[in-house]
Amino acid sequence: EYVLNARGINIFTCQWSHLNFEPKALIFLCHGTGTRLAQDGFVVHRMDYEGHGKSSGLQGYISSFDDIVVDSYKVLCKIHGGAIVLMLHRREPTFWDGAILVALICKMVEDMKPQPIVILTLSKLSNVIPLWRIIPNEDIIDRAIKSEEWREEVRNNHYCYKGKPRVKTGYEIFIASLDMKAILISYRNQIVLSDVNVQKNQQHLLSQNIVKIHVDTHAHILLVTLPFIIVHGSDDDVTDPTSKDKTLKLYPGMCHALTSGEPKENIDIVFSDIVKWLNERVSSIS
Protein backbone atom coordinates (compact mmCIF):
# COMPACT_ATOMS: atom_id res chain seq x y z
CA GLU A 1 0.00 0.00 0.00
CA TYR A 2 1.17 3.53 -0.78
CA VAL A 3 0.48 6.61 1.36
CA LEU A 4 0.78 10.10 -0.16
CA ASN A 5 2.79 12.44 2.06
CA ALA A 6 2.46 16.23 2.34
CA ARG A 7 5.16 16.75 -0.30
CA GLY A 8 3.33 14.67 -2.92
CA ILE A 9 5.60 11.63 -2.54
CA ASN A 10 4.17 8.11 -2.49
CA ILE A 11 5.47 6.30 0.61
CA PHE A 12 5.51 2.51 0.39
CA THR A 13 4.11 0.62 3.38
CA CYS A 14 3.80 -3.10 4.07
CA GLN A 15 2.82 -5.58 6.77
CA TRP A 16 3.89 -9.01 8.03
CA SER A 17 1.65 -11.26 10.14
CA HIS A 18 1.18 -14.93 10.99
CA LEU A 19 -2.23 -16.27 9.99
CA ASN A 20 -2.23 -19.00 12.65
CA PHE A 21 -1.39 -16.78 15.65
CA GLU A 22 -3.47 -14.34 17.65
CA PRO A 23 -1.34 -11.17 17.46
CA LYS A 24 0.63 -10.45 20.64
CA ALA A 25 1.29 -6.81 19.77
CA LEU A 26 1.90 -4.38 16.91
CA ILE A 27 5.47 -3.56 15.90
CA PHE A 28 6.33 -0.61 13.65
CA LEU A 29 9.67 -0.75 11.86
CA CYS A 30 11.59 2.32 10.74
CA HIS A 31 14.14 0.10 9.02
CA GLY A 32 14.43 -3.58 8.12
CA THR A 33 12.10 -6.52 7.50
CA GLY A 34 9.57 -8.09 9.85
CA THR A 35 9.38 -11.73 8.74
CA ARG A 36 11.17 -13.11 11.78
CA LEU A 37 9.08 -11.18 14.31
CA ALA A 38 5.86 -12.14 12.52
CA GLN A 39 6.82 -15.80 12.97
CA ASP A 40 6.87 -15.16 16.72
CA GLY A 41 3.31 -13.86 16.77
CA PHE A 42 3.71 -10.12 16.24
CA VAL A 43 2.04 -8.02 13.53
CA VAL A 44 4.76 -5.90 11.92
CA HIS A 45 4.27 -2.73 9.86
CA ARG A 46 7.00 -0.91 7.94
CA MET A 47 7.51 1.97 5.53
CA ASP A 48 10.26 2.93 3.09
CA TYR A 49 11.63 6.45 3.48
CA GLU A 50 11.26 8.97 0.65
CA GLY A 51 13.84 8.21 -2.05
CA HIS A 52 14.55 4.78 -0.60
CA GLY A 53 13.27 1.28 -1.30
CA LYS A 54 9.92 1.25 -3.10
CA SER A 55 8.90 4.77 -2.13
CA SER A 56 9.00 7.46 -4.80
CA GLY A 57 11.33 10.45 -4.79
CA LEU A 58 14.89 10.98 -5.96
CA GLN A 59 16.83 7.83 -5.09
CA GLY A 60 19.16 8.21 -2.14
CA TYR A 61 18.15 11.81 -1.45
CA ILE A 62 17.20 13.20 1.98
CA SER A 63 16.35 16.89 1.87
CA SER A 64 15.62 17.07 5.58
CA PHE A 65 15.89 14.56 8.40
CA ASP A 66 12.78 16.15 9.89
CA ASP A 67 10.80 15.17 6.77
CA ILE A 68 11.55 11.50 7.45
CA VAL A 69 10.40 11.86 11.04
CA VAL A 70 7.14 13.56 9.99
CA ASP A 71 6.45 10.85 7.39
CA SER A 72 7.16 8.10 9.92
CA TYR A 73 4.89 9.74 12.47
CA LYS A 74 1.94 10.19 10.11
CA VAL A 75 2.25 6.82 8.35
CA LEU A 76 2.99 4.67 11.39
CA CYS A 77 0.32 6.28 13.54
CA LYS A 78 -2.18 5.55 10.78
CA ILE A 79 -1.44 2.06 10.42
CA HIS A 80 18.36 4.58 8.39
CA GLY A 81 16.19 3.79 12.24
CA GLY A 82 17.23 4.54 15.86
CA ALA A 83 17.40 8.33 15.74
CA ILE A 84 14.01 8.43 14.01
CA VAL A 85 12.53 6.11 16.65
CA LEU A 86 13.73 8.42 19.43
CA MET A 87 12.45 11.49 17.57
CA LEU A 88 9.06 9.80 17.15
CA HIS A 89 9.00 9.14 20.89
CA ARG A 90 9.77 12.81 21.58
CA ARG A 91 6.88 13.80 19.31
CA GLU A 92 4.38 11.44 21.01
CA PRO A 93 5.88 10.26 24.34
CA THR A 94 2.87 8.15 25.39
CA PHE A 95 1.95 6.58 22.04
CA TRP A 96 4.59 3.80 21.98
CA ASP A 97 5.02 1.10 24.62
CA GLY A 98 8.67 0.29 23.86
CA ALA A 99 11.48 0.45 21.29
CA ILE A 100 14.08 -1.90 19.82
CA LEU A 101 17.22 -0.10 18.64
CA VAL A 102 19.55 -2.19 16.48
CA ALA A 103 23.12 -0.81 16.21
CA LEU A 104 21.99 2.67 17.24
CA ILE A 105 24.20 5.47 15.95
CA CYS A 106 25.00 7.31 19.18
CA LYS A 107 28.50 8.00 17.92
CA MET A 108 30.37 7.56 14.64
CA VAL A 109 33.40 5.31 14.53
CA GLU A 110 36.42 7.63 14.61
CA ASP A 111 37.93 6.63 11.25
CA MET A 112 34.60 7.29 9.51
CA LYS A 113 34.18 10.82 10.86
CA PRO A 114 34.71 13.57 8.26
CA GLN A 115 37.39 16.16 8.95
CA PRO A 116 36.13 19.50 10.36
CA ILE A 117 36.90 21.29 7.08
CA VAL A 118 34.74 18.72 5.26
CA ILE A 119 31.83 19.42 7.61
CA LEU A 120 32.15 23.16 7.03
CA THR A 121 32.31 22.64 3.27
CA LEU A 122 29.26 20.36 3.31
CA SER A 123 27.28 22.92 5.29
CA LYS A 124 27.78 25.35 2.39
CA LEU A 125 27.46 22.92 -0.52
CA SER A 126 24.32 21.21 0.82
CA ASN A 127 22.29 24.29 -0.08
CA VAL A 128 24.05 24.95 -3.40
CA ILE A 129 24.46 21.52 -5.01
CA PRO A 130 22.32 19.28 -2.75
CA LEU A 131 21.72 16.58 -5.38
CA TRP A 132 25.31 16.02 -6.47
CA ARG A 133 26.75 12.60 -5.68
CA ILE A 134 30.32 13.60 -4.87
CA ILE A 135 30.89 12.53 -1.26
CA PRO A 136 33.71 9.97 -1.22
CA ASN A 137 32.89 6.85 0.74
CA GLU A 138 34.21 3.33 1.13
CA ASP A 139 32.10 0.22 0.60
CA ILE A 140 30.07 0.19 3.80
CA ILE A 141 28.53 -3.14 2.81
CA ASP A 142 31.83 -4.87 3.58
CA ARG A 143 32.06 -3.15 6.97
CA ALA A 144 28.46 -3.70 8.00
CA ILE A 145 27.78 -7.25 6.77
CA LYS A 146 29.78 -10.32 7.72
CA SER A 147 27.97 -12.85 5.51
CA GLU A 148 29.39 -12.98 1.96
CA GLU A 149 26.09 -14.34 0.65
CA TRP A 150 24.12 -11.46 2.14
CA ARG A 151 26.65 -8.92 0.85
CA GLU A 152 26.04 -10.10 -2.69
CA GLU A 153 22.28 -10.09 -2.20
CA VAL A 154 22.40 -6.48 -1.04
CA ARG A 155 24.66 -5.47 -3.94
CA ASN A 156 22.29 -7.10 -6.43
CA ASN A 157 19.14 -5.55 -4.94
CA HIS A 158 18.21 -2.60 -7.16
CA TYR A 159 16.10 -1.11 -4.35
CA CYS A 160 19.26 -0.57 -2.28
CA TYR A 161 21.03 2.70 -3.06
CA LYS A 162 24.71 1.97 -3.69
CA GLY A 163 26.05 5.17 -5.28
CA LYS A 164 28.05 7.92 -3.62
CA PRO A 165 26.00 9.83 -1.03
CA ARG A 166 24.35 12.99 -2.30
CA VAL A 167 25.68 16.17 -0.70
CA LYS A 168 22.51 17.05 1.19
CA THR A 169 21.87 13.45 2.22
CA GLY A 170 25.37 13.05 3.59
CA TYR A 171 25.10 16.30 5.51
CA GLU A 172 21.71 15.45 7.01
CA ILE A 173 22.86 11.98 8.08
CA PHE A 174 26.06 13.35 9.60
CA ILE A 175 24.38 16.03 11.68
CA ALA A 176 21.92 13.42 12.94
CA SER A 177 24.72 11.17 14.17
CA LEU A 178 27.14 13.37 16.09
CA ASP A 179 27.94 11.92 19.48
CA MET A 180 26.17 13.21 22.59
CA LYS A 181 29.20 14.91 24.09
CA ALA A 182 29.86 16.96 20.96
CA ILE A 183 26.19 17.93 20.83
CA LEU A 184 26.13 19.16 24.40
CA ILE A 185 29.41 21.05 24.02
CA SER A 186 28.24 22.60 20.74
CA TYR A 187 24.90 23.60 22.22
CA ARG A 188 26.43 25.03 25.40
CA ASN A 189 29.02 27.01 23.45
CA GLN A 190 26.48 28.21 20.86
CA ILE A 191 27.82 26.04 18.06
CA VAL A 192 31.48 26.89 18.57
CA LEU A 193 33.50 23.65 18.55
CA SER A 194 36.71 24.08 20.50
CA ASP A 195 38.69 21.61 18.39
CA VAL A 196 37.90 23.24 15.04
CA ASN A 197 40.60 25.76 14.14
CA VAL A 198 38.69 28.13 11.90
CA GLN A 199 38.25 31.87 11.62
CA LYS A 200 35.53 33.38 13.80
CA ASN A 201 33.48 34.36 10.79
CA GLN A 202 33.31 30.69 9.75
CA GLN A 203 32.12 29.30 13.06
CA HIS A 204 28.48 30.15 12.40
CA LEU A 205 28.48 27.71 9.46
CA LEU A 206 27.53 24.89 11.83
CA SER A 207 23.92 25.93 11.46
CA GLN A 208 21.07 25.98 13.96
CA ASN A 209 19.70 22.98 12.10
CA ILE A 210 22.51 20.90 13.61
CA VAL A 211 21.51 21.89 17.13
CA LYS A 212 17.84 21.28 16.43
CA ILE A 213 18.31 17.75 15.15
CA HIS A 214 20.97 16.73 17.63
CA VAL A 215 19.19 18.04 20.67
CA ASP A 216 16.04 16.27 19.47
CA THR A 217 17.87 12.92 19.49
CA HIS A 218 21.03 12.04 21.36
CA ALA A 219 21.39 15.01 23.70
CA HIS A 220 18.09 14.00 25.30
CA ILE A 221 18.47 10.23 25.26
CA LEU A 222 18.47 10.19 29.07
CA LEU A 223 15.02 11.84 28.99
CA VAL A 224 13.51 8.96 26.98
CA THR A 225 10.73 7.51 29.11
CA LEU A 226 9.65 4.44 27.15
CA PRO A 227 11.29 1.04 27.73
CA PHE A 228 13.91 0.19 25.12
CA ILE A 229 16.54 -2.39 24.29
CA ILE A 230 19.70 -1.65 22.30
CA VAL A 231 21.40 -4.57 20.55
CA HIS A 232 24.91 -3.87 19.30
CA GLY A 233 27.83 -5.86 17.91
CA SER A 234 31.17 -5.38 19.66
CA ASP A 235 32.91 -5.46 16.26
CA ASP A 236 30.49 -2.95 14.70
CA ASP A 237 32.72 -0.98 12.35
CA VAL A 238 30.09 1.61 11.48
CA THR A 239 28.65 2.89 14.79
CA ASP A 240 30.23 3.13 18.23
CA PRO A 241 28.41 1.23 21.05
CA THR A 242 28.43 3.50 23.87
CA SER A 243 13.85 5.43 31.25
CA LYS A 244 14.56 3.20 34.02
CA ASP A 245 13.85 0.29 31.67
CA LYS A 246 16.85 0.52 29.36
CA THR A 247 18.66 -2.64 28.24
CA LEU A 248 21.94 -2.91 26.33
CA LYS A 249 22.92 -6.24 24.77
CA LEU A 250 26.46 -6.29 23.37
CA TYR A 251 27.35 -9.25 21.12
CA PRO A 252 31.08 -10.09 21.00
CA GLY A 253 32.51 -10.38 17.51
CA MET A 254 29.33 -9.32 15.68
CA CYS A 255 29.23 -6.52 13.09
CA HIS A 256 26.75 -3.74 12.28
CA ALA A 257 24.05 -5.74 10.44
CA LEU A 258 23.12 -7.86 13.45
CA THR A 259 19.76 -9.08 12.21
CA SER A 260 20.67 -9.85 8.60
CA GLY A 261 24.40 -9.80 7.84
CA GLU A 262 25.63 -12.30 10.43
CA PRO A 263 25.75 -16.11 10.21
CA LYS A 264 22.39 -17.74 10.98
CA GLU A 265 23.40 -18.88 14.46
CA ASN A 266 24.32 -15.29 15.41
CA ILE A 267 21.09 -13.88 13.97
CA ASP A 268 19.14 -16.47 15.97
CA ILE A 269 20.84 -15.30 19.19
CA VAL A 270 19.98 -11.64 18.53
CA PHE A 271 16.36 -12.33 17.62
CA SER A 272 15.98 -14.65 20.61
CA ASP A 273 16.95 -11.78 22.92
CA ILE A 274 14.69 -9.32 21.07
CA VAL A 275 11.67 -11.65 21.20
CA LYS A 276 12.31 -12.44 24.88
CA TRP A 277 12.43 -8.71 25.65
CA LEU A 278 9.20 -8.12 23.68
CA ASN A 279 7.36 -11.00 25.33
CA GLU A 280 8.29 -9.75 28.80
CA ARG A 281 6.96 -6.25 28.03
CA VAL A 282 3.81 -7.55 26.33
CA SER A 283 3.06 -9.70 29.38
CA SER A 284 3.56 -6.79 31.78
CA ILE A 285 1.33 -4.49 29.69
CA SER A 286 -1.36 -7.16 29.43
pLDDT in tens, 209-224: 433 434 444 444 445 6
By 3-state DSSP, what share of the chain in percent is helix, strand and coil, each rounded to 5?
A: 40, 15, 45
pTM: 0.65
End-to-end alpha carbon distance in the chain: 30
Per-residue pLDDT of 186-244, as tens digits, reads 333 433 333 333 333 333 333 344 334 344 444 444 456 677 777 767 665 555 544 55
Task: Report the pLDDT value the prediction gives residue 145, as an integer from 0 to 100.
Answer: 81
Q: How far is CA 286 from CA 24, 38, 90, 272, in A?
A: 10, 19, 24, 21
Domains and CATH numbers, the chain: 1-95 (3.40.50.1820), 102-195+222-285 (3.40.50.1820)
The confidence band for 251, taking pLDDT boundaries of 50, 70 and 90, is: confident
- Say whether 220 sits in a helix, a strand or coil: helix
Q: What is the mean pLDDT of residues 248-253?
A: 83
